[in-house]
Amino acid sequence: MRINEPDCPKRNISLTPLIDIVFLLLVFFMLSTTFLKFGTVKLDAASSGDGVADPAKIVLVHIDGERRYKVSGVRIKNAELIEAVNRLVDAGARDAVIVVRDEAAVDDLVNAVRLLRQSRASSVRIVE
């Protein structure tokens, strides 16, 4: 005697839980992503020259590791950087030179270059 087992109907896979999980992942990644505007700062490469500079025509901007600036040896607030450089440019200075200390962050350097590009200094240079 032959006994046949009843055939089980094949179950279809429901896509509803998969769509729910994909939607939750999409919402999670949208909320955890930061949308920042990344800016660029144009830096000119060093060129050959006579190597002689007049110290009276240079504005020295020191950047330390505590997010503070010194302009020609005087500590200033970060918001006053452009004004301080413009005062020295009006007094006869021409170029701005950024002196970076070892503790300074790259973000501080980029911020200083961005601010000095807004000042009336004719060129901005970076030294270490």
Say if 119 falls within a structural domain: yes
What whole-number distance in Å separates Cα of residue 128 and Cα of residue 116?
Answer: 17
CATH of the domain at 91: 3.30.420.80
Question: Which tokens go with 4?
Answer: 């046949």
Single-letter amino acid code for the residue at 127: V
Say if 36 falls within a structural domain: no
Q: Could you list the residue range(s) of the whole structural domain that residue 114 is in? A: 55-127
Say if 17 falls within a structural domain: no
- What is the reported pTM? 0.56
Number of domains in the chain: 1
pLDDT digits (tens, 9 = 90+) for 19-49: 999 999 999 998 888 777 666 656 555 555 5
Say if 44 falls within a structural domain: no
What is the predicted pLDDT for the residue at 53?
Answer: 63
Say if 33 falls within a structural domain: no
Are 70 and 33 in contact by the 8 Å Cβ rule? The answer is no
